Structure 1
Amino acid sequence: MTVSERIASLRALMAEKSISAYVVPTADFHQSEYVGEHFKARQYITGFSGSYGTAVICQDDACLWTDGRYFFQAEQELAGTGVRLMKMFVGDTPTITEYLSDVVPSGGTVAFDGRVLSMGEGQEYEVALGSKGIQIHYSEDLINAIWQDRPALSDKPAFFLEERYTGASIASKLERVRKAMAEYGATVHAIASLDDICWLLNVRGDDIDYFPLLLSYAIVRMDGVELYVNEKKLNDRILNEFKKAKVTLHPYNDIYQDIQKLDASETLLIDPMKMNYALYKNISCNIVEAANPTILMKAMKNDTELDNIKAAHIKDGVAVTKFMYWVKNHYDKEVITELSSIDKLTALRAAQDGYIRDSFEPLCAYKDHAAMMHYSPCEESDVPLKGGAFFLNDTGGGYYEGSTDITRTFVLGSVDRQMKKYFTAVVRAMMNLSRAKFLYGCYGYNLDVLAREPIWDLDLDYQCGTGHGVGYLANVHEPPTGFRWYVVPSKNEHHQLEEGMVITDEPGIYEDGQFGIRIENELIVRKGVKNKYGQFMHFETITFAPIDLDGIDPEEMSRSEREWLNRYHQEVYEKIGPHLTEEERQWLKQYTRAI
């Protein structure tokens, strides 16, 4: 069926059930950033394939909300479908609840599958729509009823992550979680977020795009764990480890019935930002709401994890450096496009030992495409690389030793002095933050100005955060901290910087219709001197790949900034050079020269 035909089928079913509006988010049952094929309901009903957006289908209207990363792609993919693009955060575009409150009459019904809506979103709908006399039905999976060839839930095998990678046993992690539960006065803890469960039980899977996670729910008790998962995915090693940790297995979807059966005397700890609305509505016992204890625990990497992550970055730096060499030496000799460059970089990463998959959707953007900040090429938008422009690459690899996230912007040919001025400002912004020294207790928003200052000095800004936490072979965007100058509650980044956290540092400049520049390294939060003034902290840079000197104007940099860049490039040459061919190494020597 075409998109128009699918919408017609959905509307017929809505009419049968007296549903005024049907909401289709981009989500699985766990609010994952990327989802598996089974969960791409919004793409099925609208034709839009971006990773973020929500569709609302009414009898006489159909709309898709997405943000500026995807305006171009959405306009292309929605053409001829009858679905209107609603540009989030632009002009007077209404929010979804504002739209529903306006178009659904009092007494009407808004429906959705509550398993793919977060607890917070569901509660927001209750307040906004309930005040208008609009009913909510949260157990309607209408897409499943019309999607005749819907892919089944993933049955791909899981794998156990050895302690040489995790640095901690399942038992030790459970002990820490149970201690936190007791501090909250909870006797039971329900976990619905996949990265938290996989970290806690030292398993990984292959159930969603990019992030190596396992579809599952967990109920942690003081004397055991109830794990809701497809048991066929688990090998003997996993089963043996689970037996030792007193993990009992149940069918994946039984969580909804079992959570209803919790004794009224139990007190259940839940994270309102990490649970779906349907699961929340099935709880009848006492509730304590707080962040999952595992969030902070997994963000503060142990020494084993940090050593592994640093090793992963050397491997990744080799792949990215080889990629930079290839692009800069071949873009004018053969046809290289945005999409073909992604294939090349993925192949270079795959050649590294321990590579599993890319850690997120590659963002390779040439010239004006890079101005869209989080543009990812598709067949319709793909373009060849040419001279006289910037080529931005924001990519990462997932290795047994950890996940990486790196951005480099390459200069193809030559660019004018103004573009070099902007490029140099971005490099200065990145290094200003990376060499910060600060007192323990600082948050990311205390330090964000260090990165923005060189860009604000130009009366420019980038309308996103400066950095985010990075998970260990899990979600590449990991709470609970990050760098931004204002607090966004939904980002769950409101926590002070702790030793062992791994965070990106990625300022940029984006000029609509012209170019985009971003330079990104990853940092480890480290302790420094402790004295009468308190505990001083600093960052350790762990990303190693050349910063394109063809874009640098040394006159725009202070002596200390040039010295930092020269030291950094010396480290790049020492760490990456031995893994290259002789020709590549001679090229790297030139691109890490002192300025």
Structure 2
Amino acid sequence: MFQDFSVQSRPEFGPPRLAELRAEMAKSGLDGFIVPRADAHQGEYVAACDARLAWLTGFTGSAGFCIATGDEAGVFVDGRYRVQVRAEVDLAHFTPVNWPEIKPGAWLRDHLPEGAKVGFDPWLHTRSEITNIRADLDGSGIALIESANLIDAIWADRPAPPMAPARVHPPEFAGESAGEKRARLGDDLRAQGAAAAVLTLPDSICWLLNIRGSDIPRNPIVQAFAVLFDDGAVKLFAEAAKFDADLRAHLSDQVAILPMASFTAALEAIEGPVLVDPDSAPMAVGLTLNDHDTKTLWARDPCILPKARKNAAEIAGMQAAHHRDACAMVEFLAWLDREAPRGKLSEIDVVTALEGFRRETNALLDISFDTICGAGGNGAIVHYRVNEVTNRPVKPGELLLVDSGGQYVDGTTDITRTVAVGDVPPEARAPFTRVLQGMIALSRARFPRGVAGAHLDALARAPLWAEGWDYDHGTGHGVGAALCVHEGPARISRVSDIALEPGMILSNEPGYYREGAFGIRIENLIVTQTAPAKGDNRDQLSFDTLTFVPIDRRLIDTSLLSPDERDWLNAYHAQVQSRIAAHVSADAKTWLESACAPL
């Protein structure tokens, strides 16, 4: 089992801060207050100054929120974090809530009386989010009230906003100039009857302007807001100190850099219909426009789909980054296979070594997220992040799950491998094989245009379902090209209705988790492509694999594999060896030959 890293280990979290929040609620005439994980940009990862949920509760997961009332504080988390949240929060004062099964509106109905007022900061919630909660509260007499941020009022030592310098994203990796993108999207705005679009997602802005930054750890973005006009001009709201002379020259005269503090005033000055994304823009944007009677067109961020459809240069950059990263991974796995069975490694040792192998490429800018490295029962915590308190030995006879990635100037990687440490636990073979079968099924899929991630999700789950098993996370997320490792809108999950298109890069990562015992996940990245002609030559799509790293053959129950599955894995391993062997050390090459031997 993992060690406790709850409030008992970190006494600064919990009751004192919750008491301060409740005092502020009382002063503001509120019966409840919502504390989201999100910042004003609605990113998955937040700067230290925006980590309000973690500051209040101690919960460090990348999704969730807290609703505090006078006598209850619910921490809402999805299936990825239900083990983690119980370990991180003080259960005497915070109650984990299974979300989205239990919706916030229904929870509020159960915990507050008619006439209650619940506050929220409109800069930290989207229009869609608040609209849905209000719909669920309809008829209850409970009101959601826009409020100043009560956490900011009590967070005395709140860190300063990030001020990391921005940089140019090289044109050979972007594949299209920023001017071409701005003009193309400006034409799209006119076609929709919009004079301008408000952009609040930093990765959209970075993609549009071919810039990158490091305001958020692991994510090469610049925190900013922007307004794109139908003539291709852009007003960029960011701290001026982040942009040196070379970057300003790159942006051209059509991109005006303005203080972040002037964003609201700029919204008030826009004339003509304005496109705003109800699912990503802060609700405050729509409120500001509405206050000035500006016509608002509620539609998807115009950068979202073009960014998701990677062009040839972006795909080539991703392929190069994955080849480089695979070489580092093979060196790491060879080292791990040699050292781990001796029983002297800890989870932190493994994380440190893996980053070291990536840094030896002399091309790593950063890791793409904090490495997930769970030995034994810690592997069952889907998004487990080791720290000094939870760190445990990597013991022979256990499974080790390592989910990691790198940020390179030409691409972003994300890979998970689950490996046996010494002797293979017999009870893990069947689950590992079923996870592998699901990963293979998705890798081999052919499907018509118009098919969405929800249609394909069952392919990866079917082998597990047949055994009465499942996993509580999506099967795949979108991945940015030298951008954020988690990128919308395309994904492979039960709830995704976005049709997949050529150029979209996704993860393929089914899993299985047995609490207290082990976790299993196998992840490759795949790129959507036009499928070769077949049959009556209907317009179909398929996936091309980007990740070429061995899968632990020792954990496979070969009697469960079909001939086609065996052939796929043997062919995959043959490709791994042909692509990687010449680019790794002699020891790693010897290990690779064994790891890629045919079944």
Asked whether the two chains share a fold, i.e. TM above 0.5, the reply is: yes
Please state if 1:186 is matched with 2:186: no
1:559 maps to which of 563, 570, 577 = 563
Per-residue CA deviations over 1:276-313 (Å, capped at 9, x if unaligned) read: 11222111211212212211111111111111100100
1:83 maps to which of 66, 76, 93 = 93
Per-residue CA deviations over 1:520-563 (Å, capped at 9, x if unaligned) read: 11111121335754223222111011111111233322333222
Q: Superposition pairs for residues 101-140 of structure 1, below 5 Å?
A: 101-129=109-137, 131-140=139-148
Per-residue CA deviations over 1:389-443 (Å, capped at 9, x if unaligned) read: 2111111111111111111110112225442232222222212221223333322
Report what 1:477 is aligned to.
Answer: 486
Please state if 1:96 is matched with 2:125: no
Per-residue CA deviations over 1:166-197 (Å, capped at 9, x if unaligned) read: 11101111122112212211111111111111
Per-residue CA deviations over 1:303-342 (Å, capped at 9, x if unaligned) read: 1111110010011111221221122211132522223211
Please state if 1:272 is matched with 2:272: no
Higher mean C-alpha deviation, range 575-584 or range 192-201: 575-584
1:34 maps to which of 15, 34, 45 = 45
User: Does the 8 Å contact 1:74/1:85 carry over to 2?
Assistant: no
Please state if 1:157 is matched with 2:157: no
The alpha carbon displacement at 1:124 in A equals 2.7
Cα distance between partner residues in 2 of 1:139 and 1:89:
24
Report what 2:580 is aligned to.
Answer: 576
User: Does the 8 Å contact 1:508/1:519 carry over to 2?
Assistant: yes
**C-alpha distance 102-182 of structure 1, shift in aligned 2 (>3 A):** same
User: Does the 8 Å contact 1:138/1:278 carry over to 2?
Assistant: no
Cα distance between partner residues in 1 of 2:13 and 2:488:
39
**C-alpha distance 425-126 of structure 1, shift in aligned 2 (>3 A):** closer
User: Does the 8 Å contact 2:334/2:587 carry over to 1?
Assistant: no
Count of equivalent residues: 583
Please state if 1:331 is matched with 2:331: no
Q: Secondary structure at the match of 1:107?
A: coil
**C-alpha distance 89-2 of structure 1, shift in aligned 2 (>3 A):** closer
Please state if 1:508 is matched with 2:511: yes
1:406 maps to which of 406, 415, 424 = 415
Cα distance between partner residues in 1 of 2:499 and 2:112:
43
The alpha carbon displacement at 1:572 in A equals 1.2
**C-alpha distance 503-94 of structure 1, shift in aligned 2 (>3 A):** closer
The amino acid of 1:296's aligned partner reads L
Please state if 1:281 is matched with 2:281: no
Report what 1:364 is aligned to.
Answer: 373
**C-alpha distance 529-315 of structure 1, shift in aligned 2 (>3 A):** closer
Per-residue CA deviations over 1:333-367 (Å, capped at 9, x if unaligned) read: 25222232112212221222331111123221112
User: Does the 8 Å contact 1:68/1:372 carry over to 2?
Assistant: no
Cα distance between partner residues in 2 of 1:288 and 1:50:
33
Cα distance between partner residues in 2 of 1:339 and 1:253:
41
The alpha carbon displacement at 1:273 in A equals 0.9
Report what 2:228 is aligned to.
Answer: 220
Q: Secondary structure at the match of 1:428?
A: helix
Please state if 1:518 is matched with 2:521: yes
Cα distance between partner residues in 2 of 1:61 and 1:446:
39
The amino acid of 2:273's aligned partner reads T
Report what 2:3 is aligned to.
Answer: none
Report what 1:54 is aligned to.
Answer: 65
Please state if 1:384 is matched with 2:387: no
**C-alpha distance 68-175 of structure 1, shift in aligned 2 (>3 A):** same
1:232 maps to which of 227, 238, 241 = 241
Cα distance between partner residues in 2 of 1:476 and 1:164:
20
The amino acid of 1:272's aligned partner reads P
Report what 1:528 is aligned to.
Answer: 531
Any gaps of 5 or more consecutive residues in structure 1?
Answer: none
The amino acid of 1:189's aligned partner reads A
Q: Percent identity?
A: 33
* TM-score between both structures, scaled by the size of structure 2: 0.92
2:26 maps to which of 9, 12, 15 = 15
Report what 2:213 is aligned to.
Answer: 205
Report what 2:5 is aligned to.
Answer: none
User: Does the 8 Å contact 2:84/2:381 carry over to 1?
Assistant: no
User: Does the 8 Å contact 1:435/1:539 carry over to 2?
Assistant: yes
* TM-score between both structures, scaled by the size of structure 1: 0.93
Cα distance between partner residues in 2 of 1:142 and 1:89:
23
Cα distance between partner residues in 1 of 2:276 and 2:358:
38
1:74 maps to which of 85, 100, 105 = 85
The amino acid of 2:259's aligned partner reads P
Cα distance between partner residues in 2 of 1:583 and 1:315:
18
Considering only aligned residues, what root-mean-square deviation do their CA atoms show, in Å? 2.1
Higher mean C-alpha deviation, range 215-224 or range 134-143: 134-143
Cα distance between partner residues in 2 of 1:459 and 1:18:
49
The amino acid of 1:187's aligned partner reads A
Please state if 1:589 is matched with 2:593: yes
The alpha carbon displacement at 1:450 in A equals 2.9
2:75 maps to which of 49, 64, 72 = 64
Cα distance between partner residues in 1 of 2:22 and 2:465:
49
Per-residue CA deviations over 1:106-125 (Å, capped at 9, x if unaligned) read: 33321122111122122234
The amino acid of 1:504's aligned partner reads S
**C-alpha distance 124-556 of structure 1, shift in aligned 2 (>3 A):** closer
Any gaps of 5 or more consecutive residues in structure 2?
Answer: 1-11
Please state if 1:546 is matched with 2:550: yes
The alpha carbon displacement at 1:94 in A equals 4.6
User: Does the 8 Å contact 1:301/1:500 carry over to 2?
Assistant: yes
